[in-house]
Structure 1
């Protein structure tokens, strides 16, 4: 049985763990040649060895490779894309997964240090811009391609903290639509997946249990997403199944922000949560 990404070449940034790693695995299971774009080659090679031993990937014919990308070094976005495209002779899919924030410093408008705000917005936004600009060169020549940006529901629903992170993700949502409109004539699509709270090590380490519980109280599906659930949404946008879909901002967040603000409290009181 053929995979949904058979023969396609993909680059996934920040992909040695968490959501990025789940995307790499899912793509390889569907027959893609996937480049794990990361800073730490030793860690990436160890992850690649594990993936290439998995039965589902062996059976699909998928391949996982490493390419160097350091989010703090602007030139490595283009070099990573160039290397993957040169090795394979094409580039079909780019997933801009990188994103960062320090919840202990990225606070509200009154208390966030200006430099913290500027640096967070800068690195998150340019990670999408620089990689996409490099990828569009190859996709434009082929008159085909799909860019998937990993944004956040925090870019759609204002929060009481992490103002820089939310602002950067809101900008990425706009950039997604802009790329979609500008590149559609070349048969290049661009969509964004907006995860809610997802069960990754980064989330577990950065957020307190009290905050997680408060957040999930306002999530109708009262749990965190798994990285695999986010990867499945990305797979749809990467595959030809979404060939007529572009410029979409898809929230994969269990309904967070969908209900009235009192939903969490009232549902809890009525026992509707179970």
Structure 2
């Protein structure tokens, strides 16, 4: 276990203990940084300890008010979902906020209903769903003891709007949206909230490396706010659900996608014609 302590000052998450999975880069890293900026003790749950330590050292240079620590979690090893939560609780005595950020898909193999290998579909749905289910189950036990907690699931706009590809990924995210609502309903009596944030196309390394320019342009063609989100913009939405500002908000599926899927399908074409006029 590695940690870097930072100067303690009050913030929207001051005194809270949080854990975010898959958080050494992209949206996950932005969430960790945002939580640390607001005074939380936040754990990077990740597989690569060396990379995590590098990020922790980088955050330390900013003299943020929170504390950032590393806890081991390998998405391919089910037992580490539980062990990560247990280590956080053993170290801190509780867990107040869980962010289920992990999600994966291979765009070259996760295609449409006609061309996706069944095992590829099953494997994608399996790993994405269990990363939320098992980790939430482990955290809920401890949150219930304190009668307080917030779980935020990072879903995707692809789980709300059918896409032309990545059928496994979209199906898994749609299921996570349902699971979010189910947890919210079942755990509300224990003062535990559960919400989901659905990013649209976000400017992360993963997007830059896996999606070509043609697809990115096509996607943004149908996004009223004609740009990608920044990871920080997604993290700001997550912060709201993690903070006490959302104490009466649960079961919400918040789309942070620049309006993708909101307008008529011809919106993009009409917008381009208007600009050309």
After TM superposition, is the score higher than 0.5? yes
Aligned counterpart, 2:19: 11
- Superposed CA offset, 1:206-233 (max 9, x none): 0000000000000000000000000000
Q: 2:61 aligns with which of 26, 44, 53?
A: 53
Rounded to whole Å, the distance in 1 between the matches of 2:270 and 2:120 is 37
Aligned to 2:135: 131
Unaligned 5+ residue runs, structure 2?
1-8
Of the three residues 2, 25, 45, the one matched with 2:10 is 2
Alignment match, 2:40: 32
Shift, 1:53, TM fit:
1.6
- Secondary structure in 2 aligned to 1:98? coil
Q: Deviations over 1:114-155 (max 9, x none)?
A: 010000000000000000000001100000000000000000
Aligned to 2:115: 111
Return the TM-score normalized by structure 2: 0.96
How far the C-alpha of 1:165 sits from its partner, in A, is 0.3
Equivalent residue of 1:271, what SS?
Answer: helix
Instruction: Report whether the alignment pairs 1:269 with 2:273.
Output: yes
Task: Let me know the Cα RMSD of the aligned residues.
Answer: 1.0
Q: How does 1:129-168 map to 2 (within 5 A)?
A: 129-168=133-172
CA distance in structure 2 between the partners assigned to 1:268 and 1:117 by the alignment:
36
Matches within 5 A, 1:1-274: 2-55=10-63, 57=64, 60=65, 62-271=66-275
Runs of 4+ in 1 over 4 A off after TM superposition: none
The Cα of 1:52 is off from its aligned counterpart by 1.5
SS, match of residue 198 in structure 2: strand
Structure 1 alignment gaps of length 5 or more? none
User: Cα deviation per residue 1:72-117 (whole Å; 9 max; x = unaligned)?
Assistant: 0000000000000110011100000000001110000000000100
